[in-house]
Amino acid sequence: MPMTASARSTHGNPHHTIDVNGRHTITTDAPDRLGGTDRAPAPHELLPAMLASCVSTMIGMYAQAHDWALVDVSVDVEYDPQATPRHIQTTVNLPEGLTPDQIARLRRVADTCPVKRALETGFTFEQQFVAQPSGALAA
């Protein structure tokens, strides 16, 4: 099932409101030095956030389904946008007391994160520019 996101500029500045699948709204901005107000993440900062939250969610759902009391789990993602190819380092911080088998299962679950799989698989891109009648974007 396709997913959609529609970004709208706020008064022509770098602050954007993004509608996600018609159900959620997120915002992005740019740092002060680029003309923004730095009140929200810059668009490219959402990539590591997206991966961190996806891995954490997958681990949490798996643990909950198996009645594992996993509290204080955190996922840190470091993304280097300057490296070629791009480089991502993910660190999953787990509580003490898990068995090696539990850790191995959580590692496999983390590898099923849809964001990680999409990034590993790659993308094809299509782009089009469509002129809208005056006032059409104001809605």
Per-residue pLDDT tens digits for 82-125:
999 999 999 999 999 999 999 999 999 999 999 999 999 999 99
Please check whether the domain covering 43-139 is classified as CATH 3.40.228.10.
no
The residues spanned by each domain of the chain are 1-40, 43-139
What is the structure's pLDDT at 136?
61
> 24-28 and 74-80: which strand pairing?
unpaired
Confidence of residue 135 (pLDDT cuts 50, 70, 90): low
Is residue 34 within 8 A of residue 12, CB to CB? The reply is: no
CB 58 within 8 A of CB 52: no
List, in sequence order, every residue forming a beta bridge with 93; answer none if it has no partner.
Answer: 74
> Would you say 29 and 17 are in contact if contact means Cβ atoms under 8 Å apart?
no
Q: State the Cα–Cα distance between residues 45 and 51, nearest whole angstrom.
A: 11
Residue 72: pLDDT above 90?
no
* pLDDT bracket for residue 13 (50, 70, 90): confident
Give residue-wise pLDDT tens across range 17-58.
999 999 999 999 999 999 999 999 999 999 999 999 999 999
3-state secondary structure of 132: coil
* 11 or 134: which leads in pLDDT: 11
pTM of the model: 0.86
